[in-house]
Structure 1
Amino acid sequence: MAGVSGGKPRYEGGSGFGDGASGEPALPEAFRAAVADLLGTRLRPEITLGETPAPRRLAPYAHALTATVEVDGEELADGRLVLLHDPSGHEAWRGEFRLVSLAQADLEREIADDPLLAEVGWSWLTDALEQFGCAYVEPGGTVSRAYSQYFGAMAERPSSTEIEIRASWTPVPRGDGSLDLGTHLRAWGELLCQCAGLPPSPLPLPAPGAPSPSTAAQTSSVVPMPTRRQPRGGV
């Protein structure tokens, strides 16, 4: 996996094609521009981005990114973001592009036992999309928690609890026709940092032509989880 700190990956072939074709000449210009927007975006310094083979059966064109959140050399959260593109449009998406994401992190047991964890986890995504002024439709997803108890050769490992947020949404073009996917990537990066228990980043300036974030977005009622320093998977 190619990755660099500061949230800017190197372009080394993370795109995939549903029909198995390859080679840049086959890429539609709209897809090229969308991928370039993602690759030109920098995130918070705690996030390291990389690229991974994209799924081939979800759409004619796809590009996949991976991300990890690290503090003091310890991995606190990770995830994957996939950009899908169907030039003919997709009825369920209500558009030609779709973002599909996975975010996961280990939790302390007392946090995982909170009955409102799922609602809070989903609000991290929607709050981040609103905070960064993202235009989107048709959001959907799941928030899961998993308890793991280890046995046999792994019995010495402490039990662990993990939150997993799977989500997808359709980015909507702005007035100038651009998708401004950089704002969506930054919002997703903020979701990862929330999962990791890091403090929220300062409110960003809205992108050109984007509506100003609402007062509710500026003062979110969602309290981030306490900062953690436990590596994923325990010792």
Structure 2
Amino acid sequence: MAAAHEHLADSADETPIAFRQAVEALHAARLRPEIDIAPMPAPKRLAPFAHALEATVLDRDTDGETDLADGRLVLLHDPDGHDAWQGTFRVVTLARAELEPEMATDPLLPEVCWSWLTGALEARGVPYGAPSGTVTRAGSYYFGGLGDRAPDSQIELRASWTPAEGPHGVRDAAVHLTAWCDLLCQVAGLPPAPVEPAGRGGVVPLPQRRGPQPR
């Protein structure tokens, strides 16, 4: 992530210190070894300041590496505040993964997937507000020259929330990223990492997958 830090340093004079500190905290986060994460171009029209990361959950136990899930996280900042955000920062995320057919047809899948997000934030003790999002499941069926391919299904969670702010900006920006990576790993079918109970609610698991899914 050196390039991202260089860009940050070049624009330090015009970047609010609260945003710079939040980005530095993101890059200092300690994540699970299955997570491969790197900077990506940030959207320029959503807020005056934005920083984006893309992540992939990898199965490193197979021959080579297999992608189990992927997504992106964008940190937005508007120093003047944003009514819809109810704050000056906003976290916008995407998580997606292939599913086995029996999981894709589970009627509780959307609710369970959303509970993975809220459960991950609560398990990490992350203060947040104004959450919103969508859970989409889609299936592909193949015909003609592709008829020998088995149907496949995908789950996609798009979500955003407002991180709580303290006197110097976002509180625990790195923990927001860690919680989102917990969600990404759960969408990938990995067992949850040990986390101290938050005392509120819980995460409802779906059956674990039998093995890596083709992408």
TM-score normalised over the length of structure 1: 0.82
Match of 2:36 in 1: 48
Contact 1:98 1:169 (8 Å CA) reproduced:
yes
For residues 103-147 of structure 1, what are the alpha-carbon distances to aligned partners after superposition, in whole Å with 9 as ceiling and x for unaligned? Answer: 000000110100000000000000000000011110000001010
Q: 1:134 to 1:171 in 2, by over 3 A?
A: same
Q: Distance in 2 between matches of 1:77 and 1:183?
A: 20
User: Conserved in 2, the CA contact under 8 Å of 1:14 and 1:54?
Assistant: no
Q: Secondary structure at the match of 2:4?
A: coil
SS of the counterpart of 2:3? coil
CA contact (8 A) 1:145 1:162 kept: yes
- Is 1:189 matched with 2:181? yes
Stretches of structure 1 that go unaligned for 5 or more consecutive residues are 1-9, 17-21, 205-211
Secondary structure of the corresponding residue to residue 13 of structure 2: helix
> 2:16 matched to 1:28?
yes
Whole-angstrom CA distance in 2 between matches of 1:63 and 1:195? 23
Distance 1:166 1:126 in 2: 13
CA contact (8 A) 1:52 1:65 kept: yes
Provide the aligned length of Structure 1 versus Structure 2.
Answer: 209
**What are the residue-to-residue correspondences of 1:105-144 with 2, within 5 Å?**
105-144=97-136
Per-residue CA deviations over 1:30-76 (Å, capped at 9, x if unaligned) read 11001001000011111111111000100000000011111122111
Question: Normalized against structure 2, the TM-score is what?
Answer: 0.89
Q: Distance in 1 between matches of 2:29 and 2:67?
A: 21
* Alpha-carbon distance in structure 1 between the residues aligned to 2:46 and 2:169: 24
Q: Distance in 2 between matches of 1:152 and 1:132?
A: 48
Separation (CA, whole Å) in 1 of partners of 2:212 and 2:142 = 17
CA deviation after TM superposition for structure 1 residue 100, in Å: 0.2
What is the CA–CA distance in structure 1 between the aligned matches of 2:182 and 2:11, rounded to whole Å?
33
Match of 1:12 in 2: 3
Q: Is the 8 A contact 2:73 2:92 kept in 1?
A: yes
Q: Secondary structure at the match of 2:213?
A: coil
Residue aligning to 1:85: 77
Structure 2 gaps, min length 5: none
Identity %: 52
The question of 1:213 aligning with 2:198 is answered yes
Q: CA deviation at 1:227?
A: 3.4
Task: Answer whether contact 1:14 1:53 (CA < 8 A) is retained.
Answer: no
Residue 201, structure 1, aligned to residue 193, structure 2: yes
1:14–1:63 Cα contact (<8 Å) kept = no
Offset, 1:149: 2.0
Which shifted more, 167-176 or 180-189? 167-176
CA RMSD of aligned residues (A): 2.3
Rate the CA distance shift 1:200–1:87 in 2: closer, same or farther, 3 A.
same
1:201 Cα deviation from its structure 2 partner: 0.8
Choose between structure 1 and 2 for higher RCO, CA contacts under 8 A separated by at least 6 residues.
2
* Structure 2: distance between partners of 1:225 and 1:104: 17
What stretches of structure 1 move > 4 A for 4+ residues in a row? 151-156, 174-178
